[in-house]
Amino acid sequence: MAGGGWSSLPADLLKEVSARLSSDADLLHIHQVCHHWRAFTSLPAAFRPWVVTGRSGRTGLEPIGEYSLRLPRRDAQRLEVRAPPAGLTYCCGTSRGWLALVDDDQSPTRLVLWEPLSGTEISLPCLSPLTRIFISDDPLTSSDWIAIAAQIKGEIGQKTLFWRPGDAAWTLMNERGTCEIDTIAFLQGKAYYIDIQRNIIICDLSTGSSDPSPKVTPIFFACFVVNKLCRCHRLHAVRGAHLAVCNGELLLVVLYWGSHPCPAEVYKPIWTPNQRLELHERVRDLGGHSLFVGRGDTFALSATEFPVIKRNCIYYADIPCNKPYWISVFHLETDVVEEIPYPEELNCMPYGWFCPRKPFLKQP
C-alpha cells in the first residue's frame, strides 16, 4: 500500500470491507473510487426496498400464493433470489427482511421464517388457520425478538398471539379481537397495531415472567379522530391510516382520496389517560427519511443510505379499485403525488413492502 496508496489495497481486503457494508449507498460509493476498487467490489443487483406480490385467497385474509419479489417501478421487475424451502408455497409475512412461509393457505402444518439472501430458516410452531406474521426485530441480530400472529376470529375479525424464541407454543395476546389488522409497529417494548376500521391496540410486551400475557390497551374512537382531520368544504374520505416508527418516534400516517390539498399527513399520536387518541402535532419533515406503508410491515428508510428513494416522502403500496397504479409516492413538502402504473400482465396484488437485511449483490 505504501507505494500506491489506497488504490493498491489488496483484493481480499477490499472484498472483506465490501461484504461488511449494509448500506446500498456505501456500496455504490466504494465501487466508484477507482478502477482497482471496481474490479474487486460488487454493486447491488437491485437497490432496496422491494415489494412482495402474490395471489390472494377468497377472503383476502389467507396467506398469498405464487408470491414473488419485485422492484417497485413501472415494469415490476422480478428478482431472482435463492429458491425457498421446499413445500412452503405461501407467504404470510414480510417483516425485517424475512419472509414468513407456510405450506398451505387454509390449513398450514409448517411455519418458517426464511431469509432469502442467506437461505437461513427459523421454524416456528404452526397455527391453523393463519392470517399474517409480524416480527419485532431481526432474529440474527437480536436475542429478544418477538413474533406476533394474526388469526381469523369470526367472519371479518382477527385475534392476535405472540411467541418468543424458546416458547413451546403461542400465547394469546388479544382475545377480544379487532377487524382485519392493517399494520403493526414496534417501539420500546410495545406493539401498536391498527385495523381497517382504525381501531388502535397497544400491547406492552415487556411484562414480567410471572404474567407472560402482555397488557393490552385499546384506544377508543380513533376512527372518529382520524375522520375529523379533514376540514375542507367538501369532505375527503380517508384512504388509509397506518402506524410507523421513524427516528425513534411513533407516527400515524393518514392518506386521503380525491383532491385533498394535503393528500398525505403525518402526526405524532398522543394517548390520553381515558384511552383516547389525540392528534395535535403534524410532522412535515421526516429528517432525511421516507416511510413505506401499506398492509403489513411498515418502516422508515434513510434517503442517504438508500439512493433510489426520495427523501421526506410516503411510499404507499396498494391497488385502488379501478385505478391503473400500484405505488403512490406522496411528497410531504410539496403535496405532490406520483403514481407508478401497474403492469397489467403482472396479474397479482402487492402484499407488502420488503427490505432485505443486506444489499443484494451482483454475482461475480
Instruction: Assess whether 159 and 31 both reside in one domain.
Output: no
Give the structural domain span for 83.
Answer: 44-359
23, 34, 48, 258, 310 from 44: Cα distances, Å: 10, 17, 9, 37, 18
Answer whether residue 15 is part of any domain: yes
10: confidence class by pLDDT, cuts 50, 70, 90: confident
**pLDDT at residue 15, as a whole number:** 73
**pLDDT band at residue 176, thresholds of 50, 70 and 90?**
confident
Model confidence pLDDT, tens digit, residues 286-322 = 999 999 999 888 999 999 999 999 999 999 998 777 7
Domain assignment of residue 329, yes or no: yes
pLDDT of residue 259: 87
The answer, yes or no, to whether residue 208 has pLDDT greater than 70, is no
Instruction: Band the pLDDT of 265: cuts 50, 70, 90.
Output: very high
Cis ω for the linkage preceding 129 (within 30 of 0): yes
Q: Are residues 59 and 187 in the same domain?
A: yes
Euclidean distance between CA atoms 221 and 228, whole angstroms? 11
Question: Would you say residue 129 has pLDDT above 80?
Answer: yes
Let me know whether 59 and 17 are in one domain: no
- When divided into structural domains, the chain yields a total of 2
At a CB cut-off of 8 Å and minimum separation 6, what does 58 contact? none
Q: Taking all residues of the chain, what is their mean pLDDT, rounded to a whole number?
A: 88
**Whole-number pLDDT of residue 38:** 73
Mean pLDDT across the stretch 244-267? 95
Task: Indicate the pLDDT class of residue 192, thresholds 50, 70 and 90.
Answer: very high
For residue 210, the model assigns a pLDDT of 54
Q: Based on the domain organization, do 22 and 64 belong to the same domain?
A: no
Lowest mean pLDDT: which of 22-26, 111-115, 123-127? 22-26
Give the residue-averaged pLDDT of 70-99.
94
Nearest-CA neighbor of 301 among 342, 239, 356? 356
Residue 22 resides in a domain: yes
Same domain, 64 and 19: no
Question: How confident is the model over 12-66, as pLDDT tens digits?
Answer: 877 777 767 777 777 676 666 777 777 776 667 788 999 999 987 656 678 999 9
Residue at 253 is within a domain: yes
- Paired strand residues for 68: 53
- Verify that 127 and 81 share a domain, yes or no: yes
Nearest to 194 by CA among 156, 136, 130, 242: 242
Residue 364, domain member (yes or no): no
Q: What is the pLDDT of residues 221-241, one digit of tens each?
A: 899 999 999 988 888 999 999
pLDDT at 268: 97
Identify whether 80 is part of a domain: yes
Look at residue 118 and tell me if it is in a domain. Answer: yes
Whether pLDDT at 2 is above 60: no
Residues 30 and 165 in one domain: no
Same domain? For 140 and 229 the reply is yes
Model pLDDT, residue 31: 64
Quick one: 28 and 101 in the same domain? no
Does 225 reside within a domain? yes
Looking at the predicted structure, is the pLDDT value of residue 209 above 70? no
Q: Tell me, what's the pLDDT at 59?
A: 61
Identify whether residues 228 and 313 lie together within a single domain: yes
What digits encode the pLDDT tens for the residues 142-172? 999 999 999 988 777 889 999 999 999 999 9
The predicted model scores a pTM of 0.90
CATH at residue 296: 2.120.10
Range name among 7-11, 65-69, 340-344 with the lowest pLDDT average:
7-11
81 with 27, same domain: the answer is: no
Same domain for 51 and 14: no
pLDDT of residue 348: 85
Confidence of residue 4 (pLDDT cuts 50, 70, 90): low
Residue among 254, 263, 346, 247 at smallest CA distance from 300: 247
In this predicted structure, what is the pLDDT of residue 288?
93
